[in-house]
């Protein structure tokens, strides 16, 4: 991982004719930290909605699980249209700030606004249709603005350095701060929700969710602006002529490497987001320990942060694919074991939840594959479409969130879940199945596209050498 997480830098001067950094230049530790803080901020927007919006809709707004599933699916279907459009737009943006940074600068305040609006519950005189329309408007708006900010943010990793090790380090910092953001969310979200609901713990109100979303947004905005000011775009396409939208999309959909990455993310994140979206039901209605939510919720993220620091670095020696095999196999095994733990055995449940988090070190490795696939596409097809390529990963993430959320909440309804009530034995077992067995199966299925991915570290290095030569030849003409 080229010094992985230690942030050591080796500086080399840049030729006046060069449009990218030299091989041995390394990004500073502060730059990597700043980049990672962008995903810390993202969690305060997106993961908060992913963790709490479902239960906000069912237990506060009063929607049935079927309505919630419909809202999520409609929003994600629209993502299939808007995400590529934003990716294409970003690729063609020309400004004094570069192609991607302007979206972070101008989009972040609007993202914060819709993050708060999504957790408001106007009464509309009891009109259910109006409530659904408001939920669709705010949730779709949240998803759109998240893409406007987060897709260019993700694309920055491919243009901040041409070095594969540095890109892996950026992805590791990103995922490290993703999990630190998740830890913060897990620790403070429910206490804040309860505090703003009146502090009694007896009734969670819409105001509790709204004010918590506002607090998190206020924290997130300056973190995204740190990314804007610190993270610079240095890698530019060899072909500076405007490439048609058709050519960009064709290059993306015909890239075997990107297609494999898409399905790796789709399947593994469906497992991850599906579990994340319903775990709160598991703690409230199965374990029945609201007092332990602030302990259980951060454990997977704490484990993941430690797992990334300890295990992700081994990708340099044994390859990203082999590390993904290990990650997904262990994740599936840990969830299988959690399913069979007695609900009253709190220590063992805590240990198993932490171990599941440790196995999530594979996430940054998948993200680190994307810049390599973009290089391969530019080398073989003459098209460099960073934003459009990251749009494909954004769609995979959004679809995973929607499928995971819609499927799991639908299954809760199938097993007989009733909001704000004592659950039957069948419903409790159903929640356990949805939270543990379903994602365990999906993690195993994610191994299939990993097996099909053929871009090894050695191939990626040769492709980078080929692109360097093409850059030099172009500069010398």
Does residue 151 lie in a domain region? yes
Widest Cα–Cα separation across the chain: 75
Does residue 359 lie in a domain region? yes
Give the DSSP per-residue string, 272-304. Answer: HHHHHHHHHHIIIIIS--GGGHHHHTTHHHHHH
Q: Is 11 exposed, middle or buried (0-12, 13-18, 19+ CB in 10 A)?
A: exposed
Please tell me which residue, 474 or 195, carries the higher pLDDT value: 195
The dihedral built from the CA positions of residue 228, 232, 235 and 237, taken in this order, carries a sign that is positive
Residue 318 pLDDT > 90: no
| pLDDT of amino acid 259 | 94
**Mean pLDDT, range 127-134, rounded to an integer:** 94
Q: How far is CA 61 from the centre of its chain?
A: 26
Does residue 86 lie in a domain region? yes
Counted domains in the chain: 1
Q: Which of these, 350, 112, 366, 127, lies nearest to 217 by C-alpha position?
A: 112
| pLDDT of amino acid 243 | 65
Other CB atoms within 10 Å distance of the CB of residue 366: 25
Does residue 290 lie in a domain region? yes
Lowest mean pLDDT among 6-10, 29-33, 99-103, 383-387: 6-10
Asked if 210 and 68 touch (Cβ cutoff 8 Å), the reply is: no
Does residue 56 lie in a domain region? yes
pTM, to two decimals: 0.70
Q: What are 439-464's pLDDT values in tens digits? A: 999 999 999 999 999 888 888 888 88
CA separation for the pair 183, 21 (Å, rounded): 35
Task: Find the domain containing 216 and state its range.
Answer: 29-237+251-476
Please tell me which residue, 328 or 71, carries the higher pLDDT value: 328
| pLDDT of amino acid 82 | 81
CA separation for the pair 322, 2 (Å, rounded): 18
| pLDDT of amino acid 140 | 92
Two tokens at 394? 């954004």
| pLDDT of amino acid 412 | 82
Does residue 22 lie in a domain region? no
| pLDDT of amino acid 458 | 86
Q: What are 21-75's pLDDT values in tens digits? A: 344 458 889 999 999 999 999 989 888 887 888 889 988 999 988 898 888 888 8
Q: Which of these, 2, 1, 475, 47, lies nearest to 240 by C-alpha position?
A: 475
| pLDDT of amino acid 17 | 30
Reported confidence tier of residue 398, pLDDT bands at 50, 70, 90 = confident
CA separation for the pair 121, 118 (Å, rounded): 8
Residue 424 pLDDT > 70: yes
Does residue 422 lie in a domain region? yes
Does residue 21 lie in a domain region? no
Residue 157 pLDDT > 60: yes
Look up the CATH number of the domain holding residue 132.
1.20.1250.20
Residue 156 pLDDT > 50: yes
Mean pLDDT, all residues of the chain: 84
| pLDDT of amino acid 203 | 78
CA angle 29/33/39 to nearest 5° reads 155
């Amino acid at each position: 991982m080229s010094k992985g997480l230690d942030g050591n830098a080796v500086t080399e001067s840049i030729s006046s004719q060069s449009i990218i950094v030299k091989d041995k230049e390394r990004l500073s530790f502060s730059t990597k930290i700043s980049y990672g803080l962008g995903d810390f901020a993202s969690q305060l927007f997106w993961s908060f909605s992913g963790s709490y919006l479902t239960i906000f809709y069912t237990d506060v707004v009063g929607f049935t699980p079927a309505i919630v599933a419909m809202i999520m699916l409609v929003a994600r279907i629209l993502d299939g249209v808007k995400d590529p459009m934003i990716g294409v737009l970003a690729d063609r943006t020309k400004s004094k700030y570069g192609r991607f940074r302007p979206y972070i600068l101008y989009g972040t305040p609007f993202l914060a606004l819709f993050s708060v609006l999504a957790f408001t519950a106007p009464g509309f005189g009891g009109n259910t249709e109006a409530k659904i329309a408001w939920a669709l408007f705010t949730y779709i708006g949240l998803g759109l603005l998240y893409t406007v900010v987060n897709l260019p943010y993700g694309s920055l990793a491919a243009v901040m350095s041409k070095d594969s090790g540095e890109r892996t380090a950026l992805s590791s910092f990103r995922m490290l701060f993703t999990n630190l953001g998740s830890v913060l969310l897990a620790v403070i979200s429910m206490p804040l929700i309860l505090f703003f609901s009146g502090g009694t713990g007896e009734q969670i109100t819409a105001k509790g969710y709204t004010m918590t979303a506002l607090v998190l947004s206020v924290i997130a905005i300056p973190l995204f602006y740190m990314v804007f000011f610190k993270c610079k775009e240095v890698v530019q396409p060899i072909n500076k002529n405007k490439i048609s939208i058709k050519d960009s999309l064709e290059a993306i959909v015909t890239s075997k490497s990107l297609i494999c990455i898409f399905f790796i993310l789709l399947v593994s994140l469906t497992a991850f987001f599906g579990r994340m979206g319903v775990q709160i039901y598991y703690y409230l209605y199965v374990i029945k320990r609201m007092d332990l939510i602030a302990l259980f919720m951060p454990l997977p993220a704490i484990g993941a942060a430690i797992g990334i620091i300890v295990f992700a670095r081994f990708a340099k020696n044994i390859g990203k694919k082999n590390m993904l095999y290990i990650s997904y196999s262990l994740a599936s095994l840990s969830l299988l074991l959690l399913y069979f733990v007695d609900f009253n055995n709190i220590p063992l449940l805590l240990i198993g939840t932490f171990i599941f988090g440790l196995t999530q070190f594979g996430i940054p490795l998948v993200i680190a594959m994307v810049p390599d696939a973009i290089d391969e596409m530019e080398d073989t097809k003459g098209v460099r479409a960073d934003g459009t390529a990251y749009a494909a990963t954004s769609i995979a993430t959004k679809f995973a969130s929607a499928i995971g959320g819609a499927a799991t909440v639908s299954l809760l309804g199938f097993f007989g879940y009733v909001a704000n009530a004592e659950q039957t034995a069948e419903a409790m077992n159903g929640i356990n199945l949805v939270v543990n067995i379903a994602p365990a199966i999906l993690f195993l299925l994610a191994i299939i596209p990993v097996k099909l991915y053929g871009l090894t570290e050695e191939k990626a290095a040769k492709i980078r050498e080929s692109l360097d030569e093409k850059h030099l030849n172009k500069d010398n003409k």
